[in-house]
Amino acid sequence: MSTMSAEQVDANPRKRLDRLGKLVLDGGRISREDALWLFDLTAGPDILHLISWANRVRDQFRGNAIHLCSIVNVKSGGCPENCSFCAQSAAYETGAARYGFIESEPVLKAAGEAQDNRVNALGIVAAWKGLNEGPVLDEVCQRIRELASDGKTRPDASLGIIKSQAVANRLREAGLECYNHNLETSRRFFPAICGTHTYEDRMDTLRYLRNAGIKLCCGGILGMGETNEDRCEFALALREIDPAHVPLNFLNPIPGTPLEKRPLLPPMEIFKLIACFRLLLPHQEIMVAGGRVANLRDTQALMFFAGASGLMAGNYLTTTNQPVEKDLQMIKDLGFDIRREERFEPKQACPA
Ligand code: SF4
């Protein structure tokens, strides 16, 4: 019986998916050429075959547990940056709430609610360009110390661009375990969504954080007009950075922002994207974050079988999410557990 050549195998999409699925399960890395082919797959039975492999990869590398995290908006609106998807940019009239840095009580209250909802981590998030040495950093470190000593949830943060190694070190000394700083999209497409800071500013921030021994949470937004090649380059860039968590947001167009007229992504396209990220990032905690309900509606449950291993529970920064109880029931109904977070061990410095 004659064996099929590599060309013959790859000429058949299902056989090519089988080859790639087995490669990842055996610990291999998908090439850039195969990754581009995955992102270019179009709707149809091949997507379900891709999803079935992504589910096996999720199960083998992330097990049967789902990571939950929540966020609290500690400073809202009036941000000087102009990220074109963002309701909190001062550049756009979106009606988003505007308030200054909040006191401890609401943060600790949010931590209590998160713990009651079996949510592992609480991220303090602020709408500003970033963090420098000074009184604001002192207050931020105080909030982190309070969250860390409270012990109810893992203290996380998403506080924009970090301007120096010293700032990152202070956050770690205060007890910060994980920092969300998204690349948002590919290096090529980034200038199309933000004109007030650069992709390199974000890469520098990730380096400072990693060098300070802080766990990285780094993902982005899909559905902003990027190409499949952008999506592939974005996923490959994340693979080089090797963050612990990868939040995938799906654009929920906010009225008043430059992206307000963007169409929502079709759910099957979203499941394909989650599956592509899972095959390229088998070890990561791939979380479905913003835009989940707006884009997926009643099809949400399939996200876990497409490769997702986490989700953001509770309301977003300026828009509401579905009740946490509904998420917990969905996870239970699907036979998944809630992941309990193990203590964090710092990784080696970020690639140059
Ligand atoms: S830096 Fe953050 S808060 Fe400011 S506009 Fe960009 S995404 Fe929004």
**Range list of H helices, 63-133:** 104-116
pLDDT confidence of residue 5? 82
Domain contains 27: no
Domain contains 6: no
Q: Whose alpha carbon is nearest atom 2 of ligand 1? A: 127
Ligand 1 touching residue 193 (CB < 6 A): no
pLDDT confidence of residue 350? 43
Q: Name the token pair of 200.
A: 């390199």
pLDDT confidence of residue 2? 60
Give the E-state strand segments of the chain in sequence order.
65-75, 121-126, 130-131, 154-158, 161-162, 178-180, 215-217, 220-222, 245-250, 285-288, 310-312, 337-338
- Looking at the CA of residue 127, tell me the nearest atom of ligand 1: 3
Closest listed residue to residue 277, CA positions, set 86, 14, 84, 57? 57
Ligand 1 touching residue 41 (CB < 6 A): no
Domain contains 33: no
Ligand 1 touching residue 226 (CB < 6 A): no
In the chain, the number of structural domains is: 1
**Rg, the chain, Cα only:** 20
Domain contains 10: no
CATH number of the domain to which 191 belongs: 3.20.20.70
Q: Which H/E stretch holds residue 165?
A: helix 165-173
- pLDDT lower than 50: segments of the chain: 344-352
Domain contains 322: yes
Predicted confidence (pLDDT) per residue in 301-323, tens digit: 999 999 999 999 999 999 899 99
Q: Name the token pair of 233.
A: 């380059």
Ligand 1 touching residue 81 (CB < 6 A): yes
Ligand 1 touching residue 89 (CB < 6 A): yes
Domain contains 116: yes
- Domain of residue 81: give its range: 60-338
Q: Name the token pair of 339.
A: 């992941």
Domain contains 18: no
Question: How many C-alpha atoms does 3 have within 13 Å on its Cβ side?
Answer: 2
Domain contains 122: yes
pLDDT confidence of residue 346? 46
Select from 75, 79, 183 the residue to mutate for testing ligand 1; criterion: most ligand atoms less than 8 Å from CB: 79
Predicted confidence (pLDDT) per residue in 43-55, tens digit: 888 999 999 999 9
Ligand 1 touching residue 184 (CB < 6 A): no
